[in-house]
Chains A and B, each alone.
Chain A
Amino acid sequence: MTTRGGSARPVAVALALVGLGLALAPVVFGMFHRAPLGAEMIQDFAPLMTKERLAGFQGHLAGIDASVQELDPLVEEQPDIGSPSYATFSKDWPEIHTTMTSLMDQVAANREGYDAVASLPDFRLFPWFFAVPGVIIFLLAGYAAVTGRDGWWLRGPAAAIGVALVVLPFAVGMFHKAPQGAQMMGAFETIETTENVARIQGYFATMASGQGAIRLDIAPELVRAGVPHPATERLDAEWIGILNDMTPMIGAMSDSVDNYQAVASLPSFRLFPWFFVAPGAVLVLISFIPRKARP
């Protein structure tokens, strides 16, 4: 049934405004640009954010630390087995160890937050979740407003879209996952900066140089002298694996700085479910405003 006249217009105009708001929200928040960068960041970290891999990073740091703790007294006793590279590494190691361990603790503590965000629908789809229904409602309601027509051809789709918007956050667990994602984004705020990544790159250079001095200078001397050094032997044996593991992690951190900044400039993840529920509920309510009977 279709009604005509002035009584239909306020409903149509209200629906058109909600539709317009939905359609423009992704544009206003730059979601078409930022959401794919978020998807890229999630993808980059995917292979690294497993329980085993994160435990492995902590294990690597503990292994390096064990070797330094083993070697420092030996080098102090026999300074001729040391080298300038090892001296630099040994001096810098406490800071590197503390910073890197704390960083990995932070990352590990937010693994569930990462998993929660990664299990949401693909970030690239998010702007379309708003834009597509927004455009549909705006076109239908705009037509209704211009012609003064009203009917289920307008209210039906508006109500259906409204229900879908309300249901979607519940269906994908957004109320539970979005706050976890927000917490992760907060934790990564100090990690994903150009300065921090440059510091970690510098640590990496110092560790690589120091391990080289251990592997090529100190360890052979200890073998010749018959001094046991099990922690250092273990480190040397595991070094390739450590490089294979840590290099991609630094790469992902480095590549994600811009992506993180893009995602961080979106509204808080905590608000995301409400961006669906609020306009959805409004659409449903407007759709059910009683129509005036034709005189």
Chain B
Amino acid sequence: MTGPDHARFADDAGAYLLGALADDERAAFELHMESCPDCRNQVEQLRPAADALPRSVEQMNPPDRLRASIMDVVRAEGDAAPRPRRERPRLRFSLRPALAGAMLVLGLLVGFGVAQLTGGEDERTITAKVDDARLPTASAELRVEGDGDDGAALTAEGLPDPGPGRVYQAWIARGDKISPAPTFVADRDGSGSVALPEDLSGADAVLVTRERRGGARVPGEMPVMRVDL
């Protein structure tokens, strides 16, 4: 049994498993598979062959320093379990898109609650609030050095592809003014990060939206993430 528009995707299973589809093609094929049992079955039938490919590689010994370097970071981050997803602060929006612009500013004024803070005196790690409806698997945190005058770094996991020709963009909110910050993309395992070199002292929040590649001058949607500073 095939899904709608099956002919367009009929030969994509192999390329999909080999990582040979472009990001937008991969997203389109994954969407198609949701309604096409034939393509799902074909992917599952071929998957063991694709999964075996890395096992064909001649084995080498990594240098000992690599193990030490990885474990230094792991131990430094402690043995705390990662945050359960359901405990993340969430952003929830129920207003019509027409009100989005006004709510963007209003949201900044009223705030969305207390952020989770960790880290030492010289560094704060603040958990982002994520819009569950639009980014159901995502989580993110902002690491701020000192008072924020040296900027910060936003790291996200579980990010979905923002769509063809689109990227994630950070924004700095100060009062009712929102300034554009750099764009960033998610890699194939949903990880993404962006450095915010701008002085954040006096800023109220860091926001994230999905915008056209190249970035926007004003937000085109309600934020999908928000970090209150």
Q: Do A and B come from one complex?
A: no
